[in-house]
Amino acid sequence: TRAEMKRILKEIQSGEFARTWLEENRTGRKNFLAMRESAKDQPIERVGAELRSMMTFLKKRKEAGVPEEAAVGA
């Protein structure tokens, strides 16, 4: 919603988001890793994997030894 977007923008502008993110990384990324794991089960992730499998330019990168995370920006 609009109010939530404004709240998030204030977090970014105040530096609160950056401080929280740096602390998250410094302490082992527990929340981030949990959210990433949870997102794997979302339908959009399955569709994304299917679409990436159809993209020949990604296959060429994989054959060249480029990790998938680097190829898709994950």
pLDDT of amino acid 57: 86
pLDDT of amino acid 74: 47
pLDDT(73) > 80: no
pLDDT of amino acid 60: 73
pLDDT tens column, 3-36: 999 999 999 999 999 999 999 999 999 999 999 9
Higher per-residue confidence, 72 vs 32: 32
6 backbone dihedrals φ, ψ, rounded to 5°: -65, -40
Q: Hey, what are 52's tokens? A: 């990436």
Per the confidence metrics, is the pTM higher than 0.75?
Answer: no
Where are the strands (E) in 1-74, listed by range?
A: none
